[in-house]
Amino acid sequence: MPVVPNTLERLAMLRLNRAPGPVLDMVAAGAFRAATTAYEHGVFAELRDGPRTAFDLAQTLDAHEDGLRPLLDFLVTTGYLDRDGIYYENSTMTTRWLTDAPASTDVGPWLAMWETVVFPFWTTALDDVLATGEPDRTLYETLTEDPEAASAVQRGFVATAELALDGVLDAVAVPEGATRLLDVGGGHGRYAAAFVATTPTLTATVFDRPEAAAVAREVAAANAVGDRVRFEAGDYFADDLGSDYDLALVFNVLHAHDPEENRRLLARVHDALGSGGRIAVLDQFASEARTPAWEAALAFLNLNYHITIGAGIPDEATVPEWLTDAGFRAVRRESVGPGIAVFVAERD
């Protein structure tokens, strides 16, 4: 959690520029590293059932108390843990966002993805991007050689999908009588599994790179729809997508491609839908940045896309035009979460 300066510190650092504001970013970077380390070593999971001492935690986690205690104390100051005397416990924020307790949404896999895969890629690729405008190799190209990292990325994406899931299901109505769904570039398959779970008549095909298959099958099984969601590996620009689908999802795909590629992809999806079929296109858009924090978050994601895949957040104004040119009609737009919108349209 970012360090929250008190009134005097905000005045000195952020208003009067009398103290070095970048120190806050340095401490926040340390807090991120500390939180992901604690998550991966099971600290938050061990504290889920109640307070523990540093000694007890060290014994359970096979750690050294002298190394663990400073980590716990730092996490207290940054809002991840609370402390009462010698006892540590999860803060309400940690319980809500970094455990699998009831009524929580665990974003830990997403943080772990950044720590173990994405930021290390930045270290090697950022200089190339600054020099040439794009990475020498994309992150996805490197993942074909590292199944463990590929799984970590897909699990991170599952965590973020959970955050938007309710909004997406509300915004994208399944056509009446629909039986077939196509999830283009669906990777982990969490969205496909959700639509299938809420629509008994529906089956789904998740079409994406082969390295996403294992996590997609785990997600389908975990949501009790493993017999109704199948994964098909391929290139959605070149390989056959199938035909006569009732609903197609194109989620978090546009930002990976240039405008002409997106036009071509949407035309291919149009041809894969049956008469009266529906498409839903979801992505992040700069126009959704309605507060300073989300403006910074979307600019951060845009930078990340340039570093990792040589692309960026698409221009929202062009999406209806792309859909119309591809043969879709009745385009409507819905906000489904901070920084995220979905466009829904019908096939002619």
d(CA 25, CA 8) in angstroms, rounded, equals: 18
d(CA 249, CA 338): 20
Residue-wise pLDDT for 289-340, tens only, equals: 778 888 899 999 999 999 999 999 999 999 999 999 999 999 999 999 888 9
Domain limits, the chain: 7-97, 108-347
Residue 279's pLDDT is: 98
Token couple for 142: 């490197």
pLDDT of residue 1: 60
Tokens, residue 310: 């040589």
Q: How confident is the model at residue 8 (pLDDT cuts 50, 70, 90)?
A: confident
| Whole-number pLDDT of residue 2 | 66
Confidence of residue 274 (pLDDT cuts 50, 70, 90): very high
**How would residue 287 be classed by pLDDT, with cut points 50, 70 and 90?**
confident
Number of CB atoms found within 10 A of residue 11's CB: 13
The DSSP code sequence of 231-261 is EEES-TTTS---S-EEEEEEES-GGGS-HHH
The residue type at 234: G
Tokens (6 digits) for 149: 């990292």
For the stretch 45-102, pLDDT in tens is: 999 999 999 999 999 999 999 999 999 999 999 999 999 999 999 999 999 999 988 8
Using the structure block, give the residue that is written with the tokens 């520029």.
17
- Strands 229-233 and 273-284, sheet pairing: unpaired
CATH 1.20.1250.20 fits 7-97, yes or no: no
Residue with tokens 């737009």: 333
Pairing state of beta strands 52-53 and 87-90? antiparallel
Q: What confidence category does residue 280 fall into, taking pLDDT thresholds of 50, 70 and 90?
A: very high
Is residue 235 scored above 80 in pLDDT? yes
Q: What is the rounded average pLDDT of the residues 24-37?
A: 94
At residue 95, the pLDDT reads 96
14 vs 36 pLDDT, higher one = 36
Q: What is the pLDDT of residue 5?
A: 83
CA proximity to 338, closest of 286, 263, 276: 286
Cβ-based neighbours of 62, under 8 Å, separated by 6 or more: none
Q: What is the DSSP letter of 311?
A: -
**CATH class of the region 108-347:** alpha beta
Does residue 228 carry a pLDDT above 90? Answer: yes
Task: From residue 199, give the alpha-carbon distance in Å to each of 176, 179, 202.
Answer: 10, 9, 6
**Residue 229 CB: number of other CB atoms within 10 A?**
26
Residue-averaged pLDDT of the chain: 94
Q: What is the pLDDT of residues 77-92, one digit of tens each?
A: 999 999 999 999 999 9
The model's pLDDT over 130-163, given as tens digits with 9 standing for 90+, comes to 999 999 999 999 999 999 999 999 999 999 999 9
Residue 113 has pLDDT above 70, yes or no: yes
Name which of 254, 181, 192, 182 is nearest 222 in CA terms.
Answer: 192
